[in-house]
Structure formats: C-alpha cells, structure tokens
Structure 1
Amino acid sequence: MVLDGDLHPGDVFCITDKDLQRTIPADELNPILASLPPIGAVEKIRQYFGHKEGLLLTILKVTSDTVPHWGGNDGSAKPASNLSVEVLNTTEETTDRLLDDQRPNISVLIKKIVGYLRSKSNAKSRLLRELGTQSGSKELPWRVAKITWRILRILTKHSVKIIVQGLRLLQNKEDRIRVKKQIQLKQHLLRDTIGSSFNLVRGISSSTKYLLGGIAVSVIVLVIGITVISKTQARAMEEKTYLEQLTSIEDLMELGVGALIYKDENQARSLYMNAQTLISALPTNSSEREEKAEELIQDLQAALNEIRHLVTIPNPPLLADLETLTDGVFGNSLTLASGNVLVAGSDGRLYQFNKTEKRFDVVASLSTGSLSPIAMSQEDGRTYLLDQEGTVYGVSFENQTLNPLSISDDRWVDLEAYATRLYFLRPTTDSAEGQIFRFNRSGSSFDGESEWITSRTIPFDFATSIAIDGDVYVLMGDGSISRFVNGSEEGWGTGVVDPRITQATKLWTSPESSYLYVLEPSTQRLIVFQKETGAFVVQYRSDAFQGLSDFVVDEAGYTIYLLAGSKLYSIAPSHLE
C-alpha cells in the first residue's frame, strides 16, 4: 500500500497484519489511536486478540510539524553545515571537559591529601571526640579539666615508673657500666646507619636520582588519577541510576493515566502506589533533585485525587458569620425550612440567614434558661430542636420562642421529623441496647412512644446520626451506613472511600434525593454516595471548613450549606450538574 500526502501534528499512522476494523469497532478503535500514546495504544489493541495469536503492529504518532527542509531541484540532500559545526563544537567542548576531569592537578591533590590527614587526625583524637559529644557549653570547662587531669595523671605515673627503674639500675656499679655500654653501642649503630645511607645516596648519579624522583611522582599521580577517575565513574553511574528511576516513575504515571482513561481505577491506583514508592526512594542530595522530587509528589497527589474523586474547594463563599452579632457564638445545628436556612446557635437562640443582607437574624429563643442544641429537623413548617440534655423543643415563629415538649431522654443523639412523626436515635450504652424511638404527633404534642427497629445485626455502639426517606439510614462513626426497611435491617452497604472515614458525625438525605451525604469534620470533607447502590460518588473538601458541625443540602438550588464554627459557607455540588 502506498500513501501520498502530508502528516500533520496529531495524525496517527498504524500498520498491522490484522484487519483491526473487523475485530475492534470503529467507535473504540479511533479513541484508542487518538487518545493513548503509541505504547499504551499497542498494549490496549493487543488485549482484543488471544494470547497465542500472533500480531504485528506499528503505530506512529506525529507530535511536531518541525522537520528538516530539503531544498534544490536535483533532489539531492544538502549538508546542514551550520548544524554540523554546532554539533562538532558541542562535542569538542564535552570531550575537553571530560579530559579535564581526568587530568591530574597538583593543587587539588595537595588539598585532598591535607583534608584526608586532617579528617584522620580528628577521627583518631580521643580528646576531640569527647569534647564533640558534650551536650552543652555549661559542661565544657568541667570536661576539659577532667580530661586534662587524666592526661597529667597518666604522664606522672609513667614518669615516676621510669625514674624509679633508672634509679634502681644506677645503684649498682655493674649495671651502670652495662647501661653505658648499651647506650654507646646504639649511638655507634645509629651513626653508622646514617652515614651509610648518606654515602649511598651521594653515590647515586644525578640522572638516577631524577629518574627515581620521576618514578615516585608518577606513582603518586597515577594513584591520584585512578582515584579521581573512580570517583568520576561512580558519579556517572549514580547519575545513570537516578535517570533510570525517573524514567520508571514517568512510565508508571503514564500507564496510570491510560488506566484511568479506560475507567480501571484499581489498576491506576496500583500503578500510582508503585510510583509513590519509587519517588520516596529518590535521592535528594542536591537542590535540583529536591525540586524534582517535590514536583513528582505534586503530580502524583493530583493523580491520586482524581482516583479518590476528591474535589478541593480553595475559597468557598462565606455567606454570614454569627460572631458579627455576638462574640463567641458558634453554630451547632443547621436545617432548611421553606427555603430558609436556620441555624441553632451555641447561645440557645435560633437564627435565620438573611440572603439579601448576608447576615443572621434572631427568630426564636428561650424565654428563660438556656440550652445547647445538638440536632435540628423540620417538616411541613414545623421545626424541632434536640439539646444536649435530651430535651426536645418546638419552634414558634409567631411568638419567637422555643417551647419544650413533654418528651426527653439524655441518651438521644439525633432526631428526624418525617410523616408527622419524630424519630430519635439512641446508641448502645452499658445499660441499654441501641434503638430508634418513634413518637406520633397529636396536635402540638407527641405521644405513643415505640421502639421502631425490630431486627438488626449491626451494633449501635457508635451510631451518630439518622436520615429518613421512607427507609431509615443509620450512620456509624466509621462511616458505615445501615439501611432499615419497616424496622428490619436490609443487606446494603457503601463503597470504599480513600482515605477511609473514621469520624463521621452527620448524615443527610431526603425522599427527593438520589444521594446520601456524610460529614466528617476531622478531615474537613463531605462524602457523597449513591442511595440505590451505595456506590461512592465524590468528596468535597476545603481548608476553610474548620470546626464543621452540620450541613444541609438544597439539591433543587444546586447548593450545599455547611456550618463551620460561627461561619456559614456554601458550595456548588458538581455531581448534580
């Protein structure tokens, strides 16, 4: 087959001995060739054929339209003289540099020898070692005095011993004569040795002296040259290993991107974990290598965030702040009533967010006493609060008061209003099993208490929150969610979240919503699951979410309200678009 025409950036040229269009549908083949790099495309196409089936496949991808220009009418190639000279100069400079690295340098030699002797001297000095290990400057004079006294004591001991031995020898006349003769004999031997050595050297010819000196210098230069070359080769080998590590990391990252394109998140996660291991093993003995390692870590973190479905919100909109009204007030609970955002404050008052003025207005409070709300719910314009002491309050917006109801239990941790009933969650305690209690509304009060759960297997030791849409969902502290239908536990679970949930506090859903929302203040995030399958969808996080206490979702308005300390934030959920 002969093709006539030009190739442009982005064009892909594929040659194979198989009829790919019969094996791979066109709507799959074209994205493979267009979106994947050549190596990834070859690996992906190979998966459509059996392991024992032969396949010849070549894929070329044009990435640049910059090509050498061949001029002339005779069709012959013309040498690029400028390019050749440039390459020659570059090669010559590289060669000179390498030769300079291997050329002996006397000044460098002397510096290295002096440095080596100094390091050895310092390493073998007991005094310096002891002084170097001191914990502070206050003990230094005492340690110096102690070491000096030890040295003086040793010298004095040996001096006294030598003097005593000498005196013993000098007491006897025969011993004195023998010692004198030994000293004289050693003096003669030393004098003869020095004289013979001097005569021997003086008898050597000048040319021989120069030759021996040259040999000695040559040996020294050779040793130094071998040492320098060895170190240069070691550095070159270390640099080669470093570059190979970088190549392996980049290959793993590229394969991980390819796996994500085909929705294979498990494979991508495994590849990225391998890349993370290699990055942690990279040497960082220079500023350039430190910067490269930081760059790779940032790229890897961005790739892992994509797998984790993590949406980071750097600056969520701040709607209002309770501290603009009263210092030290925090928001404890949050709900949405008839399109209005209500916040139960730590001062026992109920606030409404004024969207026009971007501030909070007090809409209800206790006539006497105080309360500390821990949960709030509303239904059909009726709003209810549960405080830390287990007392339940109804809100009268007409009178702007909070009125206590006749039901209470200090073991309740959450409430939910649904179908003219109030549901309360009680975790398992030492004195009672965990249960959900239901109360029927009778006018403005509630009665007819009943234990709603009839069958369950999951323990309620760490139950923290409930949500109701007809079925009842119970959230545990570890992020697991149990679903109950008509009082009985149903086999159902949520997908895996990375990083895993360990301190979940609030759960939200509604009959109109297709999602379950879980709040984890310790990690400053809100996690979303599909209600039908329990599959993990997305997680939203922001550094601004300090001290999260509650949230509510307005899916019709594409807004999530989050209460963090005294501040009310909002975010636009991307999973609803």
Structure 2
Amino acid sequence: MTISRERTVQSATMTAGVAQFVVRGGRREDQSPLIALGEVASLTGAGPGRDWLYLICEPVEPTGRAIPVGAEVLAALRDVYAENDRDDPIEAMVAAVHAANKVLFAKNRATAPAGRVSLGVTCLIVRGAELFICQVPPTQTIIAQNEMPHALPELASWRNDYQPRAASGVGGKHGSARGLGMRAEIAPQLFRTTLERGDLITLCSSNLAAVLADEDLGPLLANDPDAARDFLAELATQHRLDPAYAVVITPPLAPDRAGALDAVEDDPDAWTGDGQTPAGPQPGGSWIERGLREMRERSRVVPWPRRVIAPRSRVVPLREGITIDADDSSPGGRTGASFARWDARDDDDDELPDELDRDDVDAIEQFLTNHRTEADGDEGGEPAPRRAPRRGRASSRPMGAAMLLGMIAGAVAGWVRPAGGRARRSRDRVRPLGSLERWETKRAPRLGRWLPLLIVAAIVLLGVGLVASVRVQRARAAEARFERAVDEIASAREAALGAADRSAARGQVLSLQDRLEALPTEGQPRRQERVAAERAALAVTLDRVEAVERLGPGQVQTVATSPIAAGKATGRPQIVVGGGQQFVLLDGELYLADTRDRTMKRILGAGETVAGSAAGKLLGIAWRVDSLFAFDERRGYLRSAAGGWSALPLDIAGRKVTAVDSFGGNLYLLEAERAFIGKFVAGDYASPPQPWTNAKGGGELAGAIDMTIDKDIYVLLADGRVLDFFGGELKSTLAPVAVPALAGASAVHAAPDGRFLYLVDPREGRIVCLGRDGAIVAVYKAAPEAPSFAGAREIAVDEGAGIAYVLTDAGLLAVRLPALGRR
C-alpha cells in the first residue's frame, strides 16, 4: 500500500457544504494539514453508493514533528479505509485506527521521549442517512440536530474545573483515551446517529472547544457552514488561540450532492487533495507505510454487535471499543503481544516477554518426544509419533509457566532413570505367572515414571498456595493500615474544630489534606470513595475554621466577559457603579458593561475626539455627584446622561496616580510614591491639588495600594491594614484579624452612606466584609461549581441592591451578598 501524499491537502472541489479554516502563526488560512475530506466508493460495492469521510487530528503535545506526522496518519487512515474489504464502515475505520496506532506506537517506542508524537483523531463516515463516529480525544465534535447540539465529548470537559458525571459513559474527562501512539492498545469511542436535512457537523481543535464551553453556540446550531466557520475563526482571534482549526460540514444527503464528486475515481489512489495524480510509490515506502503493510497482514477485527438505530434526536454510543486480535496464521506465528507489554512511562527493554518463542516450544516438545521414544524402545514398543506443534498463544499466567517447568522436569527425570530400575522377569528362578508379576512388570514402571512429575506438581501447588496466602495477608495488612490512617485523619479533623487558635487549626487541616491525598487509592474503588468522603469533610472543616460562607452559582454570575486576555492588562483597573450602570477601566480604556449580551463595550479611550482634541490613555475614573468622570494626563472628561462627553481642565500632568475617588464634587487623588493625598476643589480642577493630609497622618501612605471615600477616607495598605482619615487627620488604623491574614488584599470599597467596608483578596479568592470598627462581619468564597474570586483585582458594592461587582481576569462578576440588609 502506498500513502498518497497529496491527500494531506483538501480538495478544491469540496467547497459546497464544507467550510474550514486554520489560524497558524498569527495568520488565518482556508485549509489545514490536520483536516482531511473526501469520498470513496462503498467498501464492497454492495453498499449504498459512496462513503463520505471527514477526518481531523490534533497533537496531544505540540512539537515540530506533530503536524507532518499527523498529516501522514490522516492519509494512512483514508488509504486503509478505502482499501478495506469490509462492508461495515465501523469495522473498517476501527481497523484503520488500530493499525495506525500500532505503527505510531512502534515508532514512538524506538524514538527518544522528546521526539514522540501522540495524536487525537476523530473520523466521521456518512453513508446514506447514517453517520458513524470513531473518536480518540483530544478533538471535538458537535452535531446540531433540530437546533440542539450534541457534543462529543462534553464541551465543559475541557475546562480545568470540570467534574465528570459519575453515571456518564462518554461524558467524563475523555475516558481512558490518551491519543494514538501512547499505548499498544486503544479503545476508541464509537457513536452513530441518523441525519436529516438541516443538520450541521462541526469538527474543531480542543482549544476552541474549551472556549465554546462558555459561549452561545449560535451559528453552530444553524445550517450555514460559512457563518459557523467565521464564528469559530472570530473566537480563535478574540481569544488569541494559535494554532486553532475547524471544519463545518453540511452532510451530503440531497440527490444533487450525492453525485457532486462523480469525477473522482473509485480507485483510492486517485483520490487526492488537489486533483492531481499521486506520485509513484517510493521503494520501501516511509516508516508508517511499512508499518501499516505489516499491521494489515497481522490483524483482524472482531465485528461489533449491531444495534437497532435509535431515534434521530439522540446520538447513540455503540460501545467503548472494538477488540483487535492477532491472526493465528500470520507469518512466523508472532502475535505482536510484546507491544502490549510496553507503556509510555516505562521503556525498560530488559524485561523478559511473557510468551515463549514458537521455536522454543517446538524444541521442548521435540526433546520430550525423542526421550519418550528411547524409553519405550526398551519394551519393544513402536516409537510414538511426534505430536504436531500446538498452535495458539502460550499462556502468560505464572501458574501456566510453573506447570510447564514441572512437566519438563518430570519428563527429564523419568527419562534419565536407569533401565535397571524397571522390574523384569528373573532368569535365575521360576516364579508363577500371576497378578504380582503383572504389577511389577507393568504398573510399577509407570508409577515410578510419573512420580517425579507428581512431586514437582505438589511442590508447585504448595508454592502457589504459599504465595497466594502471603499476598492475602499483605493485602489485609495494607487495608488495615489504610483504615487506621483515615480514622486518624478524621479524629484530628474533629480536634481541629475545637481548637482555640484558628490559625494553628487551619495549618493542621491543610496538613491533614496533604496526608489524605498521599494515601494509595489507585485501582481501589472502595478506598477512593472513602477518601472522597473524607476530602469533602476536610473542606467543610477548613471553611468553618476560616469562618467562610460559600456562595453558589445562583449567587455568583458572570455579567460581562473581559475584552483583554488574562494577564495581558497593565495598570490598575477600576470599577465605578452609578446610575444603574457598571463602568470598568481596563488598560487605559473605559468600558460599559452590557449585561444583556455579557460583553464590555468601549466608550472612551486613546484617540477618541472630545471637544476637538484627541483623548489620551485614561489614568482613572470616579463617580462625581451624578455623572461619570474620567481623566488622562492633560484633561478631565465628564459623561452626560445621554452618553456624550465634555472636557474639563485638570492639573494632573506628571503625577503618578495610585487611586482616585470623589466626594461632594471634590476630587481626591492618592499618590503612594509621594505618600500624598491631594484634593481638587469642585469647580477649580485647573488649579494644583491641595495637600489634604498632614505629615503625621500621611507617614504610612507610602505602602498604600487603594483608597475609597464615604465621609471618611479609607486607605488600604499592602499588609492588609486600613487607615481611617477624617479632616486630614489619621482617625484610626483598622487591623482585621482574618484566617489566613489579609496580606494579599488588592482593593477596598465603601458604599456611599453604607455600613461596611469590603476588601477583596485575590490570593485566597475571598471577599471580606468589615464593620467600620475593623471587625470582620463575614467572609465569602465561591462554591466549586460557581465562578471563582481567585485573581480578583477590584471591587465595587451597591448596598442598596445587595450586589457586589468583582473584576477578575475572566470578566465582571455580580455577587449577591447575604450579609447585606440583615447584619
């Protein structure tokens, strides 16, 4: 078989009903080498016309060799499928996938770890109105039927916080598949469904699938492949995914589409990506060609059981995998079982194989036959004919090996026994012919001949019994140690709840969590259940020690996603809540949160013309009386209720602003580098700011990171303390006692005429509510199934509505705080 190299580029004739793209190296292109499309004649000629094939693969680890190897594997899969003599498309494709896996596995085994390639692959076969799917993650398939999506695997499974459903057979964390080339045997996931007009199929890379988990699928549920492709390409560009690729397909069900490619020849080697005749085969072929030729000669597929087609509203899983068995009649009698003994994590080639070589078995049987012939010759019998070598697999069980050694030892012992040991008729005395003579001359030699074998078998059985007994005792001892360890952790957990020192109790609970995770549970379902229950109990205990209240998905929601990728924003962000709207300052640009479509819309930034002059990069925002105020290095900008902007003079040039806030029309500016709080008097922003704090009160401002105003001015320090200023004098220093300490707090907010101060701690992912005396009122964290507060950078609270707005790298969160209105 020769792999047609041209098949790695898609056919230009397959434009109707198919749209694809790839983003690679920052550029968008129309075709990807990791996507293959085409059609072949029915496998045996008895099927309904042609089969349409759609293939996509994805490297598990992006390396320099991954793309060319992936392209060759796709071409090989199509060639093996096209040349297969099975009429069942599932059998043919699974055979192709297993053959490609064995070849790639053998290549990886002979390659250094840094050069190994593992590929996820999804193969779609459309025959008539039926769709068959063979999938080895990673790669993503989405089938839209009646505007309802069927995702294989679930889109949410690509997220790091995904918890698989225990009862799901296909929705877990991608099952046990690890990609082609990582294990000698794989179990691809198989599905089938019935297609109708209006269905749309999407194949895409897993990084796009991770983004789709949080998106409205929109065009992917319609029937326009071009619109769906553009939607995916825009997502890839927006989230800076590189590389990313996808293909969107309208299944060819109509009669006019069924013959759209009649010009393509039935010969599989004539099916190329660019319509050209494939190049002639090179002598010997590449490593994957040679490997596939060998696999085709050595393997067969066990047919999968047919099932009744389910209603078309569901995508039905066929079974977890199809078994591939070695052909007993293959040349040399080799079964290839040595491949199954290798794992990607263990390259020890010194381990002895579990099978005896066929030549070794034949030699042993010849040895036994020859010696039986010599022993029997003493009694004048005919030589025993040599038994034909037994075909099949040699047992790999330890008991089988022990019994084989015992048989060999017994046979050798019986052969080397001297002939004088046999009972013969005495020539020097006459003895009556009777039962005694018959016993001595016939039965006694047979008993003596098998006695060594019986002794060896008894020893072997005794040894096996002793080994089994030792293993059982060790297993019971290990189970007792495990139960004792879990009981000790549970007792220590109960003790931590009653500890007076909450910081020490927290450290103890964290240590118990580490001890619990170190317990061996692999392959032990009962142990895993016990550890999971204790893990949940420790999490509850830790929350109680830290005085944390968990907020669920109904209390924490994402109202707008961030327009800037995580970690890319510079400068300090800000949130201002006013007039029933939320304004966000990110990277010098001002955005308005649109809660209807969960986006942030840019309303002011560098280059925008205001009052005949271009605005610069914005330094801060504040709510001034009843309108939004923003400023850059030269001017201030005031937003009207209608959304227009006017310019105000502002003496701000050369100042390094840490935080800004407004009260009574006056503008207050915090410069931590100068340990200075300045006041711009209402109506006179063009004059320099007046010093607001005295030297004594401003001594600690050098460590300030944020400021908020509600009659008093509250300044958050880097160590978690809050300075309370009034009338320019330091009124008090608030030092909240939290477990753990608030050394990582990043923002503080006081709502106008409110009762509390709110701090956000990005390191611990918590919101801390303080009374005006510094006492902790409540601590909130998001539940595991809700969006997390980890990495939060800014907070603003609308106490009247009972909602806190928290800005994270992912976007703007709305948090309903149960403490508001009842404390």
Shorter-normalised TM range: 0.5 to 0.7
Question: Hey, what does 2:61 align to over in structure 1?
Answer: none
Are residues 499 and 131 of structure 1, via their aligned partners in 2, closer, same or farther at CA, if it must alter by over 3 Å? Answer: farther
Listed as ranges, the matches of 1:262-341 within 5 Å are 265=502, 269=506, 272-288=509-525, 289-308=527-546, 309-314=548-553, 316-317=556-557, 319=559, 333-337=574-578, 339-341=579-581
Q: Does the alignment pair 1:530 with 2:782?
A: no
Give deviations 1:367-407, integer Å, cap 9, x for gaps: 331344343223433543244x4754444558932424332
Are residues 550 and 251 of structure 1, via their aligned partners in 2, closer, same or farther at CA, if it must alter by over 3 Å? Answer: closer
CA contact (8 A) 1:334 1:552 kept: yes
Query: How far does residue 538 in structure 1 lie from its aligned partner after superposition?
Result: 0.8
In 1, the alpha carbon distance for the partners of 2:746 and 2:646 equals: 25
In 2, the alpha carbon distance for the partners of 1:283 and 1:399 equals: 62
In 2, the alpha carbon distance for the partners of 1:413 and 1:392 equals: 17
Report sequence identity in percent: 17
Of the three residues 403, 410, 435, the one matched with 2:676 is 435
Are residues 479 and 369 of structure 1, via their aligned partners in 2, closer, same or farther at CA, if it must alter by over 3 Å? Answer: farther
Query: How far does residue 440 in structure 1 lie from its aligned partner after superposition?
Result: 3.0
Of the three residues 569, 576, 583, the one matched with 1:343 is 583
Give deviations 1:438-476, integer Å, cap 9, x for gaps: 333355655452262422697656532112334432224
Q: Does the alignment pair 1:552 with 2:772?
A: no
In 1, the alpha carbon distance for the partners of 2:502 and 2:772 equals: 21
Question: Hey, what does 1:62 align to over in structure 2?
Answer: none
Give deviations 1:493-516, integer Å, cap 9, x for gaps: 1222448653x4422114633322
In 1, the alpha carbon distance for the partners of 2:468 and 2:696 equals: 80
CA contact (8 A) 1:561 1:571 kept: yes
In 2, the alpha carbon distance for the partners of 1:216 and 1:358 equals: 78
In 1, the alpha carbon distance for the partners of 2:559 and 2:453 equals: 88
The residue type paired with residue 771 of structure 2 is Q
TM-score between the two structures when normalised by the length of structure 1: 0.52
Of the three residues 750, 755, 779, the one matched with 1:514 is 755
Query: How far does residue 559 in structure 1 lie from its aligned partner after superposition?
Result: 1.9
In 2, the alpha carbon distance for the partners of 1:277 and 1:540 equals: 21
In 2, the alpha carbon distance for the partners of 1:533 and 1:415 equals: 22
CA contact (8 A) 2:749 2:758 kept: yes
Of the three residues 780, 790, 793, the one matched with 1:539 is 780
CA contact (8 A) 1:494 1:536 kept: no
Listed as ranges, the matches of 1:6-405 within 5 Å are 198=418, 218-255=458-495, 259=498, 265=502, 269=506, 272-288=509-525, 289-308=527-546, 309-314=548-553, 316-317=556-557, 319=559, 333-337=574-578, 339-344=579-584, 366-367=610-611, 368-381=613-626, 383-387=628-632, 389=633, 392-397=636-641, 400-405=644-649
The residue type paired with residue 465 of structure 2 is G
Are residues 273 and 468 of structure 1, via their aligned partners in 2, closer, same or farther at CA, if it must alter by over 3 Å? Answer: same
The residue type paired with residue 467 of structure 1 is T
CA contact (8 A) 1:340 1:352 kept: no
CA contact (8 A) 1:560 1:570 kept: yes
In 1, the alpha carbon distance for the partners of 2:687 and 2:709 equals: 19
Question: Hey, what does 2:57 align to over in structure 1?
Answer: none
Are residues 488 and 361 of structure 1, via their aligned partners in 2, closer, same or farther at CA, if it must alter by over 3 Å? Answer: same
Listed as ranges, the matches of 1:553-568 within 5 Å are 553-563=797-807, 568=812
The residue type paired with residue 816 of structure 2 is A
CA contact (8 A) 2:635 2:647 kept: no
1:466 alignment partner, SS class: strand
The residue type paired with residue 506 of structure 1 is A
The residue type paired with residue 713 of structure 2 is V
In 1, the alpha carbon distance for the partners of 2:422 and 2:698 equals: 106
2:489 alignment partner, SS class: helix
Q: Does the alignment pair 1:496 with 2:716?
A: no
CA contact (8 A) 1:311 1:540 kept: yes
Are residues 564 and 268 of structure 1, via their aligned partners in 2, closer, same or farther at CA, if it must alter by over 3 Å? Answer: closer
CA contact (8 A) 1:527 1:540 kept: no
Of the three residues 435, 447, 469, the one matched with 2:710 is 469
The root-mean-square deviation of aligned C-alpha atoms, in Å, is: 5.0
In 2, the alpha carbon distance for the partners of 1:399 and 1:483 equals: 35
Give deviations 1:515-555, integer Å, cap 9, x for gaps: 22123457665332333134362134452669856432121
In 2, the alpha carbon distance for the partners of 1:547 and 1:244 equals: 39
Are residues 405 and 202 of structure 1, via their aligned partners in 2, closer, same or farther at CA, if it must alter by over 3 Å? Answer: farther
1:575 alignment partner, SS class: coil
TM-score between the two structures when normalised by the length of structure 2: 0.38
Q: Give the unaligned 5+ runs of structure 1.
A: 1-118, 123-127, 133-194
**How many equivalent pairs are there?**
378
CA contact (8 A) 2:804 2:814 kept: yes
Are residues 231 and 201 of structure 1, via their aligned partners in 2, closer, same or farther at CA, if it must alter by over 3 Å? Answer: farther
In 2, the alpha carbon distance for the partners of 1:212 and 1:363 equals: 96
In 2, the alpha carbon distance for the partners of 1:200 and 1:499 equals: 94
The residue type paired with residue 494 of structure 1 is P
In 1, the alpha carbon distance for the partners of 2:759 and 2:453 equals: 85
1:283 alignment partner, SS class: coil
CA contact (8 A) 2:766 2:779 kept: no
Question: Hey, what does 2:386 align to over in structure 1?
Answer: none
The residue type paired with residue 516 of structure 2 is I
In 2, the alpha carbon distance for the partners of 1:277 and 1:564 equals: 29
Question: Hey, what does 2:241 align to over in structure 1?
Answer: none
Give deviations 1:101-130, integer Å, cap 9, x for gaps: xxxxxxxxxxxxxxxxxx9xx9xxxxx966
In 2, the alpha carbon distance for the partners of 1:390 and 1:397 equals: 23
Question: Hey, what does 2:149 align to over in structure 1?
Answer: none
In 2, the alpha carbon distance for the partners of 1:347 and 1:269 equals: 37
Give deviations 1:174-197, integer Å, cap 9, x for gaps: xxxxxxxxxxxxxxxxxxxxx998
The residue type paired with residue 495 of structure 1 is V
The residue type paired with residue 780 of structure 2 is Q
CA contact (8 A) 2:585 2:621 kept: no
Q: Does the alignment pair 1:572 with 2:819?
A: no
CA contact (8 A) 2:558 2:787 kept: no
Query: How far does residue 230 in structure 1 lie from its aligned partner after superposition?
Result: 1.7
Are residues 396 and 547 of structure 1, via their aligned partners in 2, closer, same or farther at CA, if it must alter by over 3 Å? Answer: farther
In 2, the alpha carbon distance for the partners of 1:545 and 1:533 equals: 22
Q: When you count helix as a share of all residues, which structure comes out higher?
A: 1
In 2, the alpha carbon distance for the partners of 1:354 and 1:227 equals: 70
In 1, the alpha carbon distance for the partners of 2:675 and 2:535 equals: 45
Of the three residues 670, 678, 681, the one matched with 1:425 is 670
Query: How far does residue 340 in structure 1 lie from its aligned partner after superposition?
Result: 3.1
In 2, the alpha carbon distance for the partners of 1:284 and 1:376 equals: 54
Give deviations 1:282-309, integer Å, cap 9, x for gaps: 2113140334433432342243234331
Are residues 390 and 560 of structure 1, via their aligned partners in 2, closer, same or farther at CA, if it must alter by over 3 Å? Answer: farther
In 2, the alpha carbon distance for the partners of 1:509 and 1:356 equals: 27
In 2, the alpha carbon distance for the partners of 1:236 and 1:329 equals: 57
In our comparison, the structure showing a higher alpha carbon Rg is 1
In 2, the alpha carbon distance for the partners of 1:357 and 1:199 equals: 99
Query: How far does residue 570 in structure 1 lie from its aligned partner after superposition?
Result: 2.5
After TM superposition, the structure 1 stretch with the greater mean CA deviation from structure 2, 532-541 or 267-276, is: 267-276
